[in-house]
Structure 1
Amino acid sequence: MGGNRRKKRKIKGSKEEPEELVKAPHSFVIKRGDVGKHIDQLMTDFRAVMEPFTASHLKMRKKNVIKDFVSISSYLNVTHLAIFTRTNNSPYFRLARLPRGPTITYKVVEYTLTHDVISSMRKPHVNPSLFHASPLLVLNGFSGASAGEDDVKTKLTTSMWRNMFPSIDIHKVQLSKIRRCVLLNADPETGLIDFRHYAIKVKPVGLTGTVRKLLTGKRVPDLGAFRSVEEAMERDGAGFTESEGEMADEVEDSRHVTLPQRMHTRGNLLNEKSSIRLIELGPRMKLELVKIENGIMGGEVLHHAYITKTREEVKELKTAAEQRAFLKLSRKKQQEENVKRKLQEKDRARAEVEKRRAAVEAEATGEFKRPQPRKTKTDENDQKKKKVVIDTGNEADVEDDGDDADDDNIDDDEYDISDEEMLPLDDADL
């Protein structure tokens, strides 16, 4: 008889995120307008660079505007907005600090997609676990600017790129979690910025090729050509081939470091020498700084690569911007007052309608008493003039007030006249 029972799902309470994750910079990477399939793929590759503190599968609609992303940024702890656009001349890349700016606009002079970078490599390094931690940012050529506008430009660009990635505490950082790096190299002569994305690989040094293959290789090498293990250890690299990069790890001392911590890879021990190799992941971009604005996609222009203005022109533009801002605030205030006034008028009209409706319902049920009209002095004087005094057996003194209609309303019962008394008149009487 009993029906099918439903299992009640237990809704777990929402757990608060750790403070380091909340304070970490988060980003939105979007596109605006029709950018084509290549720039669309470049946007996807840049989202992978910003992992894990970005919306990897963020969906956009044509009706979405920048204000939509800015409005929800505070709820999701989003601090930066990266926008890819395209014109007839070239694609552009914009970086904006949320929610108030500034905004930096770059012209994408050249770019290479991740797929093309991996296809050009003999041994590509593809590992999804690399994107579980944020990359390390390396800046080169962003210091030593001269005083003036170039100094402001360098400070803003450096601050923008630094704040896009989580800061590192050298006393608490775990080296095993630093597995990627983003390199930005600024050319002082051309002013172009080279963007590169690498994977960090650490290998032990000071070992023979056979031992290194045994320690770091994914498969056990074939030792059938040797009579004993000692012979394999003595013959350095016999039967094994090494790439040019692996040979350079042993030769170049600039790649050698002493590890202060134990790494997750095999063979890299504490306080032992290891070599660091960078394997490119993609994408590549060559950026040219075009403009820096004070707000979100607008505001005062702090730097422009193609347009130069005098101090007087800058002052006039600043004054005009302040006037527009003041006018905007005044209109907004007036609009708020108009909305408030209209709401009050609606409330009064609604109350009047409710009052009339209640009166109609009360009158329909018989509980409503119509209010008597207020008496005035003229009405009291008129009532005094209409007063009639009738005495039995005497003539009635009636004051004529000029209203014959009231005289016709005299009741016939007051004057009881029989039919006999009503005799016809003779001609003589006439």
Structure 2
Amino acid sequence: MGRKQRGRAARNARRKLPPNFESDEVKRAPHVLVFKRGPTVGNNVKELIKDMRRVMEPFTAPNLKVSRKNSLKDFIAISSHFHVTHLMTFSKTQLSTYMRLIRIPRGPTLNFRIRRFTHGRDIVSALRRPQTFPKQFEHAPLLVMNGFQDESIHIKLIATMFQNMFPSINVATVDLSTIKRCVLLSLDPVNGFIEFRHYNIKIVPSSISRAAKKLLQGKVPDLSRFNDISDFMYREGHASESEDESTGNQDENEVILSQQLRSRGNLKSNQSAIRLTEIGPRMTLELVKIEEGLCDGEVLYHTYISKTPEEIAELRKRNTEKKRLKDQRIREQEENIKHKQENKKQTQKSSSKQNDEETDEEESSDYADE
């Protein structure tokens, strides 16, 4: 019998996974890397980056470490191996904070100005009953978009970009128990700002009394004032309005469940209410420009600058010439490197030959002396 593994060997054995342990669904899902760009961004932006990583979970790298030496080419090089489809970068200047969305591998690149933002911890601390728990981040959030009906090119690109950043769902086969969060994007048609919100989704039964709801939730009621449990049920346990979770118009947020949920009281074909609790972060975005390619292509749209067709043609000609010169320099550098390597090989070969000749002369002189 072999020796039982203990300590580090046992932990490493448990961590070993088959080479293709990821399912096809995970491989097809969009993966987003969130990180900062620039030498300094400040603690507030760093906290915002952590919040956005929580939003994009589980298809992101929550503990990604980025150094100053890392460039966009480094992340693009590893994107295919880790199924990364989008990059979300944050930077800060003296004027404002900016967010950039990059579609890998061919673009486009969307540049947003963050006019104002609020951290998730600030929103949660202001709530009376926060709804945060680890299991709500085990599945991707549901994307809800409002006000993106405009047929403009830049509006279509924004909508397509955000839609491709989240996994698509099949309404007929989706498991409602896996939908724990939602991301709301609302476009203001007047000023063009995009409001970003992140909510927790909770479904509670609404076709039963508050007393029965307490029992279903596992809460032990105080029956000292009642002679029988029926008194508590008929009087609804003297529940106050603050204990009632329903807010607003009940008819607007009540639905008939098409499947049974894992939470108590939410049965199939019964009526339940949907509760949304904001968990942050909160951002107000303003589109600045859309670039073709990966941050270095032609500007497809700019909010503040508009150019004539002649200026656009001149810019295209200038960019084409710039790209041609860049390719020419790359070819010259490759030829120079190749030429240096050949010269180095010839030098090494000649030096080794000369050493062999000197060795032969020394051996022949030693033999003549003998």
- Give yes or no for TM over 0.5: yes
Q: Distance in 1 between matches of 2:244 and 2:164?
A: 33
**Residue 237 of structure 2 corresponds to residue 238 of structure 1:** yes
CA drift at 1:171: 3.3
Written as runs of structure 1 = structure 2, the 5 A alignment for 1:258-337 is: 258-337=256-335
8 Å CA contact retained: 2:108, 2:293: yes
Q: Distance in 2 between matches of 1:256 and 1:115?
A: 29
Partner deviation per Cα, 1:45-79 (whole Å, 9 max, x = no partner): 11111111111111122333322222222222211
CA drift at 1:297: 2.2
Q: Distance in 2 between matches of 1:307 and 1:334?
A: 37
State the match for 2:74 in structure 1.
Answer: 68
Q: Distance in 2 between matches of 1:6 and 1:127?
A: 35
State the match for 2:34 in structure 1.
Answer: 29
State the match for 2:140 in structure 1.
Answer: 134
State the match for 1:227 in structure 2.
Answer: 227
State the match for 2:57 in structure 1.
Answer: 51
Q: Distance in 2 between matches of 1:178 and 1:367?
A: 89
Partner deviation per Cα, 1:343-400 (whole Å, 9 max, x = no partner): 222222222222222222223223999xxxxxxxxxxxxxxxxxxxxxxxxxxxxxxx
Q: Specify whether residues 305 and 6 from structure 1 end up closer, same or farther in structure 2 by C-alpha distance, changes over 3 A only.
A: closer
Unpaired segments ≥5 residues, structure 1: 146-150, 370-430
- Report the 3-state secondary structure (helix = DSSP H, G, I; strand = E; otherwise coil) of the residue aligned with 2:156: helix
- Report the 3-state secondary structure (helix = DSSP H, G, I; strand = E; otherwise coil) of the residue aligned with 2:329: helix
8 Å CA contact retained: 2:221, 2:237: no
State the match for 2:107 in structure 1.
Answer: 101
8 Å CA contact retained: 1:45, 1:113: yes
CA drift at 1:244: 8.3
**More deviation in 285-294 or 73-82?**
73-82
**TM (normalized to structure 2)?**
0.90
Unpaired segments ≥5 residues, structure 2: none
Calculate the aligned-residue CA RMSD, in Å.
2.3
State the match for 1:349 in structure 2.
Answer: 347
Written as runs of structure 1 = structure 2, the 5 A alignment for 1:71-90 is: 71-90=77-96
Q: Distance in 2 between matches of 1:154 and 1:62?
A: 33
Q: Specify whether residues 350 and 117 from structure 1 end up closer, same or farther in structure 2 by C-alpha distance, changes over 3 A only.
A: same
CA drift at 1:342: 2.3
Q: What amino acid is aligned across from residue 304 of structure 2 in structure 1? A: Y
8 Å CA contact retained: 1:359, 1:368: no
Q: Distance in 2 between matches of 1:243 and 1:366?
A: 108
Q: What amino acid is aligned across from residue 242 of structure 1 in structure 2? A: E
8 Å CA contact retained: 1:362, 1:368: no
Q: Specify whether residues 355 and 229 from structure 1 end up closer, same or farther in structure 2 by C-alpha distance, changes over 3 A only.
A: same
Q: What amino acid is aligned across from residue 239 of structure 1 in structure 2? A: H
8 Å CA contact retained: 2:90, 2:98: yes
**Residue 368 of structure 2 corresponds to residue 364 of structure 1:** no
- Report the 3-state secondary structure (helix = DSSP H, G, I; strand = E; otherwise coil) of the residue aligned with 1:238: helix
Q: What amino acid is aligned across from residue 35 of structure 2 in structure 1? A: I
CA drift at 1:298: 2.3
Q: 1:119 aligns with which of 113, 125, 137?
A: 125
User: More relative contact order in 1 or in 2 (CA 8 Å, sep 6+)?
Assistant: 2
Q: Distance in 2 between matches of 1:6 and 1:359?
A: 60
**TM (normalized to structure 1)?**
0.78
Q: Distance in 1 between matches of 2:211 and 2:17?
A: 54
Q: What amino acid is aligned across from residue 265 of structure 1 in structure 2? A: S
Q: Distance in 2 between matches of 1:297 and 1:285?
A: 23
8 Å CA contact retained: 2:210, 2:244: no
